[in-house]
Structure 1
């Protein structure tokens, strides 16, 4: 056999040489952490080498930091706070906002309508009172709470989707995106890793909000545990691919006043923190959906909340409530079982 350039000569016949395929480098797991939005963001990704993995993770954290600067209600100079300040004393002209801020406000509006107001980002003034209550261990004064509630109402946020403008129709309104921003940020990081760096096998976690991309090499899914709400409740492990999961509850964030336990999740229709011990887990195709729907489902009647989940493509939910003697009552929607890792036989 004589080797020719690009051809093989065999028994007098010309046969095109097969192209040589470059050997793909093995992908290794890399994990990074950074504090943003009042919590620790964790990025797990699979890349060919450590330098490229770090470059991608640094870009991801920079994206989260930019979103925090946009949506924080703690930072006075955030885009969100500047928007609210524009309507502090009067209803002026609509204000043009960034694509990110408008996208979150539009998603919040759609959920507010679908949940009959159980989810409402205008609850900011009431949240401020409950933050103070957690620090002082005292309930908000009735007069203060009533004044704050007069500023709450999702229908008073006017959005122009074509112009991407916002107008607040009640002077003094304060928006709080704490129930939706982290899920949106996780989505944004995954999109950046995929689009700029070609990294598809990644997971982004922000406390109870986790968004997953393609499965790790050699596996068909990411496995994520749901933290039990009480002793005796089994750990539930989920399998996720290109999906998100979020859990909300009062396991860590609550205040007990006068023998009553109040969650950090505030009902925008009553101005009161959720009482009792409960948690809600929502699985959805996107983090912004999973993050926000946990709060809505927690505040809606059980049947109505699960109905909303069933009507949402690709969504599933699990709810647990702690009763007397640490007993746990739980229920789930139809699609939730599809994501559960079967328990090993005893």
Structure 2
């Protein structure tokens, strides 16, 4: 008796075929990502791009678009370019609604929010004070008292009123000037990282000087290595001390007078201007701040230096997604810098 071969049902064959395709597909090698790096000078600093992409073509297309966007933001937010949107806004009279582009509206809105959060430690209307202090640093002498008084009188973030429905800004006080230097680079880094993600490049880091917008970690890594700098003890052979943390999908900014300062008559003045005094800080302080986005981190890192450790703890320690590390060098104890840490991103360090 001859046995007969049974024909399998068509639906069974189809099911097996799909299963084999799924199994083979699951074990097929994933196309390896290539690493690409590019630098671009903009907004008075260097932007550094670190990306992992499928090909040079994908990377270059995304990077070109990201850089074009940074340049467009500079045309909006620069106080150096005479025909930038910000420069035109600064020339506009008080008590008159001025239309805003989407980017300038976003920048001004976030700036005012952070001014309120930090009780004015971050204040984009300290523009004249910043200009006055830059001039003093170049001339190696303190500003005249009358100029400092003028700078303080022109600093008032509450004199900025935004109509969000009509997208306009009204300056309610004459002579108000705006300087976005403390937030615009972080905003541009965020915007560039968004462009990279739109092109499918999620494993990327955009660094605008000390302002980092950080995406997914590099392949096979748990995060991007970020070097933290703080003061070395007095008479140390190294000007600062470094440590490293790994970060992903967040932002990190550092501010302080580690390297930018002015010494007059034995007194050290920071390049960071306190809006309340119109002068540079005199405390030795540096802050590294981690936040969900670089726009926030950029502004709050400078604000943390102005606030000081205790006030920063009071105002920022319960903010979602915010971690910071503040190093202060007390001249009374120059051999032992004091470290203040808040948030889960930094591990406690022995004092």
Q: Does the 8 A contact of 2:216 with 2:249 survive in 1?
A: yes
Of 318, 327, 334 in structure 1, the residue corresponding to residue 336 of structure 2 is 327
Q: Are 1:312 and 2:319 counterparts? A: yes
Report the secondary structure of 1:170's partner residue. Answer: coil
SS of 2:231's partner is: coil
231-240 or 30-39, which deviates more: 231-240
- Alpha-carbon shift at residue 119 of structure 1 (Å): 0.8
**Separation (CA, whole Å) in 2 of partners of 1:211 and 1:238:** 15
Offset at residue 161 of structure 1 (A): 1.4
Aligned pairs for 1:1-346 within 5 A: 12-14=8-10, 15-16=13-14, 17-18=17-18, 19=21, 21=25, 24-87=30-93, 91-195=94-198, 197-230=199-232, 231=236, 234-324=241-331, 325-337=334-346
Residue 25 of structure 1 deviates from its aligned partner by 2.2
Aligned residue pairs, count: 329
Distance in 2 (alpha carbons) for counterparts of 1:152 and 1:144: 13
Q: Distance in 1 between matches of 2:9 and 2:222?
A: 45
- Alpha-carbon distance in structure 1 between the residues aligned to 2:304 and 2:230: 18
Unaligned runs of 5+ in 1: 1-8
d(CA) in 1 for partners of 2:32 and 2:56? 12
Q: Deviations over 1:72-110 (max 9, x none)?
A: 1111111111011112xxx24201111111111111111
How far 1:301 sits from its partner (Å)? 4.3
> Residues 129, 13 of structure 1: CA spacing in aligned structure 2 closer, same or farther, 3 A cutoff?
same
* Cα separation, 1, equivalents of 2:6 and 2:154: 85
Q: What is the CA distance between 1:13 and its match in structure 2?
A: 3.7
**How does the TM-score come out when normalised to structure 1?**
0.90
Contact 2:325 2:346 in 1 (8 A): no
Cα 1:327/1:194, change in 2 over 3 Å: same
CA shift at 1:24, angstroms?
4.1
Contact 2:193 2:215 in 1 (8 A): yes
Higher CA-based Rg: 2
Shift in alpha-carbon separation, 1:13–1:149, aligned structure 2, 3 A: same
Q: CA deviation at 1:30?
A: 0.5
Separation in structure 2 between the aligned mates of residue 11 and residue 307 of structure 1, nearest angstrom: 77
1:243 CA displacement: 0.4
Looking at structure 1, the residues matched to 197 and 345 of structure 2 have their Cα atoms a distance apart, in angstroms, of 27
Does the 8 Å CA contact 2:230/2:286 hold for their aligned counterparts?
Answer: no
User: Any conservation in 1 of the 2:35–2:53 contact (CA below 8 Å)?
Assistant: yes
Question: Partners of 1:161 and 1:43 in 2: how far apart?
Answer: 33
SS at structure 2 position matched to 1:43: strand
